[in-house]
Amino acid sequence: MHFKHRLRDATLAGLAAFVAVICLSYLKSWAHFMVLSAPLGATLVLLLLLPSAPLSRPKHVVLGHLLTTSVAVIGLELLPDPILGLAVCFGLGITLMVLTDTLHPPAGANPILIYLSGAHLPPMDFILPTLSGTLFMVAFASLYHRAFTHRRYPFGPKAAPSAAGNTPRAGGKQERCGKKSS
């Protein structure tokens, strides 16, 4: 990929990340709970820059985060020892994500974040922000890719160019007026 294209993609992704963080910060003041966290920041990087990766699928993003957050919330109640509880919840979260086909690496950090916060909040004070944040990220990534990369997130081929006479072909090549171009 040429430097010019890498620069454009990097700049667009950086600006999109800026907008997403601003939106999530305002959502915090509106919803009265913290929606942005380090694991969700890592999720946004995947969604903006690796949208077609299997681990970036909405199912993996939303359910992976919810699963590991739920495991940590239950762990806080059943295993209050921070070292043992964190280790069990971290390992169990990874195991359950693999078994449920919802593996999403940034979600693995949720038990660490929850245990290290030391907060003993009602379970929904962890689960609702996770759900809100992941749903926002998936919707944001979908809008971003439709507007700037002309791809449907998370699946689908590149959208057809708007210029008349161009039709997409298999393998990413295009036909112009019946002639192949590479």
- Helix (H) / strand (E) element for 130: namely helix 124-144
Token representation of residue 174: 């295009």
Token representation of residue 114: 């929850």
Query: Does the pLDDT value for residue 161 go beyond 50?
Result: yes
- Rounded average pLDDT over 111-132: 88
Find all residues with CB under 8 Å of 55, minimum gap 6, and list them.
Answer: 46, 103, 104, 105
Give SS3 for 4.
Answer: helix
For residue 63, what pLDDT is reported?
A: 98
Token representation of residue 5: 């294209």
**pLDDT tier for residue 26 given thresholds of 50, 70 and 90:** confident
What residues does 181 pair with on adjacent strands? 174
Give SS3 for 180.
Answer: strand
Span of 71-75, 146-150, 155-159 with lowest mean pLDDT? 155-159
pTM of the entire predicted model: 0.81
